[in-house]
Amino acid sequence: MSLARERKVLDQSFSASNFRKIFDLENRKGNYLEGRFFPDIADKSKEIQSRSKKLRELRKIHAAVQSDDSENEVNSAYNELKELKEERDTLIDAELTKVSEKIREKSFSLNIQKGASIGGKPVYTTDNTAESFFALKQIQHNFRRLYKVKQANRHQIVCQVRELLGDSFPKYVIRTDISSFYESIPTDKLLKKLRDDSLLSVDSRRIVQKIIFEYCRLSGSSLGIPRGIGISAYLAELYMREIDETIIKPPAVIYYSRYVDDMLIVFCPEPNQNGFELAKTILTCFRKHGLKRNSSKTDIKKVPDSSIPQNTIEYLGYKITFSSGKEKHPVPAKLAMTDAKLDRYKRRIDLVFAAYQKKSRYNEKQARRLLEKRIRFLTSNTRLVNNKKHVVSGVFFSNPLLTELDDLQDLDAHLQAYVSALTVSRLQARLSNYSFEKGFQRKRYHKFSAQDLSAIVEAWKNV
């Protein structure tokens, strides 16, 4: 189906019926919006849960006694539950209609605020209102359907790069990214593209434009899109499409991957071509689109290279060591943590023990329990709570493609240096059992409540 045809078919409106689809989808994901935005609906949902439990109990009783009275009680409870669900549906539709009416007003706009900085870059947030949430979700849905915008699969990219760099075939490898990517996207060109494409509805474009203008006012710059706002990832992907097409156009390019603004290009120049000159030509495309590549993170390597024993690049959280091309047979690429990721783990360990020392001055028992939970979390894996997709996180699932365990052993040594300095022998003994290497190799799992997780990560927020 063409994009023009897709626009005609797709309902982009900020209607109550579209919001109901979003509401139900979020519910299936485990994101219960009634508790966040609609307290009356939340109360009705609790009542439904209570009545559902009662109905299950009555059915068990009826299965055991098989009497007319028990059957009547089951039927009565079922009808009451059905009525409650209908009342809840009516409440949901009424609330979403109110949200829809507010968003469709011409004066509607999303208020954005500058939040804490991560990696030296400010992150922006929107008001925690139903209007902001549903407006952004609908625009994101419109982008996905109209532009087929989809972020690349990080795991898949690393697997591809690992295989590609593991052979000894002559090639050039470029690793680069864009300086202040989100902050430097030319907004005039981006908005012009949205207008010229005429795919996104007028109402959607109006809200996007207001968000960008408000960001420019807050940032004091005429460039950029706000980090942290849901639609920014879609806008960035859309803007990069032309650059992606430019990079893969030369016949010499045999592989190209991009995750947000982290890029890796592999090419094989013709015998009469200068590989380094071709690399420079490929990299000029950023400047033509108003962006600047990060020269400190740009690396161009020639394979084979007799001047070095092996090649190393850092890409998507991994330090990839691969053949220099001199070997007779392919040598599998080795994957370790990047120095930055290793330092981040160590920094978290430092902060965890600093928090323990501070808290133990006035409540040692509570400080001890929290310390162990934090170390358990860092050295193991867990399934995120209230998430029906069963998303997992942890030392293995954040680094699943590691082939070298030296970094994990280094982390264990860093951890045990703190443990050995503890004066509480019982705590020392318990913490000695935790290990990054074992948590990785054995894929150790631990359960944490939502309350626990909130307290655990408090020690290293934004690190």
Q: What is the pLDDT of residue 272?
A: 82
Q: What is the pLDDT of residue 428?
A: 92
Count CB neighbours of 69 within 10 A: 10
Which amino acid, 216?
A: C
Residues counted in the chain: 463
CA distance 231 to 233: 6
Q: What is the pLDDT of residue 117?
A: 85
Which amino acid, 286?
A: F
Q: What is the pLDDT of residue 220?
A: 93
Q: What is the pTM of this model?
A: 0.84
CA distance 422 to 430: 11
Q: Do residues 155 and 401 lie in contact, with contact meaning Cβ atoms separated by under 8 Å? A: yes
Pick the CATH number of 154-337 from 1.10.10, 3.30.200, 3.30.70, 3.30.1240: 3.30.70
User: Pick from 250, 246, 204: which is nearest to 18 by CA?
Assistant: 204
Any idea of the CA torsion for 327, 329, 335, 339, to the nearest 10 degrees? 0
Residue 438 token pair: 């074992």
Spatial CB neighbours of 272, under 8 Å, sequence gap ≥ 6: none
> Domain limits of the chain?
16-104, 154-337, 340-458
CA distance 72 to 136: 47
Q: What is the pLDDT of residue 404?
A: 92
Up-side HSE of residue 443: CA atoms within 13 Å toward CB?
A: 6
Q: What is the pLDDT of residue 286?
A: 92
CA distance 231 to 210: 12
Q: From the first residue on, what is the mean pLDDT of each consecutive set of 10 residues in the chain (463 residues)?
A: 55 95 90 90 91 91 87 90 93 96 91 87 93 96 91 92 85 92 95 93 93 94 94 95 93 94 92 85 90 90 78 92 70 91 96 93 91 95 68 90 95 96 90 95 88 91 73
Q: What is the pLDDT of residue 279?
A: 87
Determine whether 80 is exposed, middle or buried from the number of CB atoms within 10 Å of its CB (0-12, 13-18, 19+): middle
Q: What is the pLDDT of residue 371?
A: 95
Residue 91 token pair: 């409440």
Chain CA centroid to CA 44, Å: 32
